[in-house]
Chain A
Amino acid sequence: MKTSDKYFPSQEQGEKVFLLVRKHWWNYVPFAITGILMILPIIAVLMYWSANSASIPYETGTMIIGGLAIYCMFTLGVQLIGFISYYLDVYIVTDHRIVDIDQAGLFNRKISELHLHQVQDVNAQVKGIFATLLHFGDVNIQTAGERENFTFSAIPNPYTVAKQIINLHEAHIEPLTEDGTPTAVAADISKQAEPDRGMDIEDIEAQAKELMSQTTMADRLKSGGLVQAKLVMPTPGSLAVDQSIAATKKPVSVQKNEMPAPKPASVVNTNEIEEGELTEGKEVDLK
């Protein structure tokens, strides 16, 4: 993806932006009024200067110009800060996540992200006379777990934005596996567990029975004498069990060996998966 194709700097490869929302222009009005008020003295001084330039002492005139220039710079600086704070303060909704970029001044920038899976409820609120007349309001996004809720403050058309977020959320979580895990998440975890995938339980049983049926020690040695099998259950809350099965006539012993749990993908809501579920051992009875 070329830089020019990106809507925002941290946009990922293939990530589609559905909404890029700024605060309603009404929120910029105080800054605009401040700017106009700050320009008025400049105009007044220039008018005074043009009318009385002959009577103003030479050195005083130079000081007035210097002061006026400094005041103009100050005004420009204030307006620049106001514009940056307003214009770079945006809410972005993509097909994967919701990004809240909070720009307060030049050197205070905070970026919060929320995955669409973590959205639990979205509601819009329009409060006040101006908000009703000018169609702006807040959209509150409630999240799963202990995460802080997201609020889109004073954005235009809050009802439409809320509906679009709900639609995107539903479209994103629609395909679920049997245990309620979103397909995308389950696929991601499976993909991560793939390198460690060994035989499944049926394969282990079949191989153990085959070994048991072999009568001579030579056969056992020929076949390797030891079966190494790994069982991976690639769903959240599953665990990986490493089993070593000795090829003897003694009852088959199962050695539990917890493997590192598959690293949750960035899209997994860690609040929904208990840590114990990922690391807890599990007995597998092989006969």
Chain B
Amino acid sequence: MNSVLVGIYIAITLVFIAFSAAGIYHLWRFGYSGDLSKIIIVIYSVISIAVVVVSASIISFRAFGG
């Protein structure tokens, strides 16, 4: 996998992280007490971190370490 594709992957991942931060802020700021906002924040964060960490690990290992 050449460095251009890795660069695209990194750029999209950064955009995704920024977008997720904005979304989580909205839920945190405008959520209502006792609703599902906090639970969704946790679920979304866990899945997002898992996707980013696993994919980044595999790609970096295969692209640069393998």
Which residues on A are within 8 Å of B, measured CB to CB?
A: 4-9, 20, 58-59, 61-63, 65-66, 68-70, 72-73, 76-77, 80-81, 83-84, 87-88, 90, 101, 103, 106-107, 109
Contact = CB atoms under 8 A, between A and B. Distances in A.
B26 A65 contact: no
Contact of A80 (B23, B63, B66): B23
B66 A77 contact: no
Contact of B32 (A7, A77, A107): A7
Contacts of A9: 29-30
Nearest to B24: A80
A4 B5 CA distance: 46
A47 to B, nearest CB: 17
A66 B5 contact: yes
Nearest to A76: B48
B56 to A, nearest CB: 8
Nearest to B19: A77
Nearest to A73: B16
Given A5-B33, A62-B1, 4 more contacts: A65-B59, A69-B59, A73-B13, A84-B23
Contact of B5 (A61, A63, A77, A109): A63
Q: Is the interface of B mostly helix, strand, loop or mixed?
A: helix
Interface residues of B, number: 35
A70 B26 contact: no
User: Which of B35, B37, B51 has the most C-beta atoms of chain A within 10 angstroms of its own C-beta?
Assistant: B51
Contact of A63 (B1, B19, B22, B29): B1
A7 B33 contact: yes
Given A65-B55, A66-B5, A73-B13, A80 B20 contact: yes
B40 A83 contact: yes
Interface of B: 1, 5-6, 9, 12-13, 16, 19-20, 22-23, 26-27, 29-33, 35-37, 40, 44, 47-48, 51-52, 54-56, 58-59, 62-63, 66
Q: Point out which of B12, B30, B31, B58 has the most chain A C-beta atoms below 10 A from its C-beta.
A: B30
Contacts of B31: 88
A279 B53 CA distance: 68
B30 to A, nearest CB: 5
A69 B52 contact: yes
B27 A88 contact: yes
A81 B58 CA distance: 28
A20 B31 CA distance: 12
B13 A106 contact: no
A106 B18 CA distance: 12
Contacts of A70: 9, 12-13
Contact of A8 (B1, B32, B63): B32
A167 to B, nearest CB: 23
Contacts of A69: 9, 13, 51-52, 54-56, 59
